[in-house]
């Protein structure tokens, strides 16, 4: 179960409707609610001109904002935890500015259950109207089986499910997965239980799979496939409400999964393995430079990304202007460029980056420009464990809390932070073996620094931390990332070191923090 800590950061502008400085904002658009186990995830979009947003909820409908429980929102998605499974919860949003509060959005609802995942789309458990089966034919060539797979997929209608058997399906011509389901009748293309169909593309100049080229693809799930060869493994064009789940994308000649050719929304990229990429080499390349194309309100969670090479080789890269995205519980390692790289949102809803474990980068292990909450991440072994600087936008509105950084080289390189609004660096553990723990290039004027524990010199700041004891503060951690148990040891300097003002209520494992408040991503056992 996840718990969201309300922070002092305000969400940026953008979103639905224009407002006037002489009146309250317009009502927000309807939120999207996905059920989880004892929790619901609410994805929302900020309203232009609003200075704050509030979520109201009730177990009865309609939601009365005068009496309903509420919370001030920070990042999208918001996780509403501590709920009773089997109980339906109803939600509305409002936006406020100096002139007052808007009318509420239309109502959304969801019912948490023990079998649900917060990272899945709201339509994940909709039952299919019809189930079809395609088995691999051993009497046909791989190319002939590939042609049969294409024909079966493209014939699907809303509400239909195609289950595909194990075997190699080779595609030697353009493959565009251009389908439209609905929230009430999504389309599922899935591997048969216990089997792995392999989709290959022998032509290195053509993508193995294209999605949303001739029409906007919506409410489609692709699950359980191995995808290899081709240029990009999966290239998303005009796509909304698309779920890529439990696929293995590998040995591509360009990036593994891309969404940088058109605007995309409400992608759910979950439980995939992406590895051994070439070309520019990103594992996930999401959005385009300078906000030319934007991904919004999407979930990138529970993926294993590794061995991304090529000329760049980021693990997960989210470009400037993409907003409202949730990057959570990914394991990313052995990347040529940053394991996780996010730019800014351009004033739209923040991105949320939490509970990721990353190591072995030829660059910064994680790099975030701003307009994000970054919490409960474990970062090891790169040029810098964490980096933040101006790039296609300015550093601003970045809350970096309860992260653990362990590196032979510099811990955190924080350039362009002086005099910028909304910058918080609190309750982190930053240990460097041979370099600085914290380096504020240009200084740290206006930065909130509190509750940190460091090993290694600090430059550009004079307070906000205590000095730790080194690797003895952890149960079993090595500088080279071969040991990664960063739970505090019984005599750790991390114990009771955190500042409650910036407490995150759970740790990297999802366990509730109890007793004394430790800095870093792990609570003491």
| pLDDT tens for each residue of 65-77 | 999 999 998 777 8
Identify whether the C-beta of residue 454 lies closer than 8 Å to the C-beta of residue 494: no
pTM of the model as a whole = 0.88
d(CA 461, CA 212): 49
**pLDDT tier, 106 (very low <50, low <70, confident <90, very high otherwise):** very high
Would the pLDDT of 373 be above 60? yes
Q: Which two tokens stand for residue 50?
A: 């609003």
The residue assigned the tokens 């980096």 is 387
The residue assigned the tokens 């870093």 is 520
Identify whether the C-beta of residue 405 lies closer than 8 Å to the C-beta of residue 438: no
Per DSSP, the three-state class of 286 is: strand
pLDDT digits (tens, 9 = 90+) for 330-356: 999 999 999 999 999 999 989 999 999
| Strand-pair partners of 93 | 55
Is 332 exposed, middle or buried, given 0-12, 13-18 or 19+ CB atoms closer than 10 A? buried
Confidence at residue 21, expressed as pLDDT on a 0 to 100 scale: 62
Per DSSP, the three-state class of 250 is: strand
- Residue 75: how many other CB atoms lie within 10 Å: 27
Q: Which two tokens stand for residue 370?
A: 């701003």
Q: Which residue has the higher pLDDT, 78 or 405?
A: 405
> Which helix (H) or strand (E) covers residue 331, if one does?
strand 331-335
**pLDDT tier, 1 (very low <50, low <70, confident <90, very high otherwise):** very low
Confidence at residue 473, expressed as pLDDT on a 0 to 100 scale: 98
Confidence at residue 393, expressed as pLDDT on a 0 to 100 scale: 92
């Amino acid at each position: 179960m996840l718990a969201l800590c309300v922070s002092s950061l305000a969400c940026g502008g953008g979103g639905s409707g224009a407002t006037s400085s002489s009146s309250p904002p317009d009502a927000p658009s309807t939120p999207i609610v996905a059920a989880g186990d004892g929790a619901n995830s609410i994805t929302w979009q900020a309203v232009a001109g609003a200075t704050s947003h509030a979520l109201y909820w009730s177990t009865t409908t309609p939601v009365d904002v005068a009496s309903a429980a509420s919370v001030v929102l920070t990042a999208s998605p918001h996780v509403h935890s501590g709920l009773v499974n089997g109980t339906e919860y109803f939600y509305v949003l409002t936006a406020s500015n100096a002139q007052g509060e808007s009318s509420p959005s239309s109502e959304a609802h969801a019912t948490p259950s023990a079998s649900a995942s917060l990272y899945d789309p709201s339509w994940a458990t909709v039952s299919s109207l019809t189930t079809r089966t395609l088995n691999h034919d051993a009497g046909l060539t791989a190319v002939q089986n590939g042609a049969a797979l294409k024909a079966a997929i493209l014939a699907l209608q809303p509400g239909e499910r195609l289950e595909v058997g194990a075997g190699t399906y080779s595609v030697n011509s353009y493959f565009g997965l251009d389908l439209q389901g609905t929230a009430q009748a999504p389309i599922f293309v899935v591997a048969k239980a216990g089997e792995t169909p392999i989709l290959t593309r022998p032509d290195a100049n053509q993508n193995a799979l294209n999605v949303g080229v001739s029409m906007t693809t919506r409410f489609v799930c692709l699950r359980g496939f191995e995808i290899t060869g081709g240029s990009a493994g999966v290239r998303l064009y005009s796509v909304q409400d698309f779920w890529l789940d439990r696929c293995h994308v590998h040995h591509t000649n360009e990036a593994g999964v891309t969404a940088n050719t058109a605007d995309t929304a409400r992608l759910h990229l979950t439980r995939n393995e992406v590895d051994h990429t070439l070309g520019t080499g990103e594992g996930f390349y999401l959005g385009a430079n300078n906000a030319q194309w934007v991904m919004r309100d999407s979930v990138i969670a529970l993926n294993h990304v590794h061995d991304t090479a090529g000329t760049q080789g980021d693990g997960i890269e989210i470009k400037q202007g993409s907003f409202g995205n949730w990057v959570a519980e990914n394991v990313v390692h052995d990347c040529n460029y940053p394991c996780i790289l996010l730019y800014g949102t351009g004033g739209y809803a923040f991105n949320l980056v939490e509970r990721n474990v990353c190591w072995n980068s030829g660059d910064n292990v994680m790099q975030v420009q701003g307009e994000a909450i970054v919490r409960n991440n474990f970062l090891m072994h790169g040029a810098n464990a964490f980096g933040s600087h101006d790039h296609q936008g300015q550093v601003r509105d970045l809350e970096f809390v309860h992260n653990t950084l362990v590196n032979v080289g510099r811990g955190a390189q924080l350039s362009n932070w002086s005099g910028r609004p909304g910058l918080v660096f609190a309750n982190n553990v930053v240990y460097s073996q041979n370099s600085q723990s914290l380096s504020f290039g240009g200084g740290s004027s206006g930065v909130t620094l509190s509750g940190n524990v460091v090993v290694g010199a600090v430059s550009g700041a004079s307070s906000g931390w205590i000095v730790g004891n080194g690797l003895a503060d952890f149960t079993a951690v090595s500088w080279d990332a071969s040991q990664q148990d960063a739970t505090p040891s019984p005599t750790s300097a991390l114990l009771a070191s955190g500042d409650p003002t910036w407490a995150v209520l759970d740790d990297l494992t999802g366990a509730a923090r109890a007793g004394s408040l430790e800095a870093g991503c792990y609570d003491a056992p």
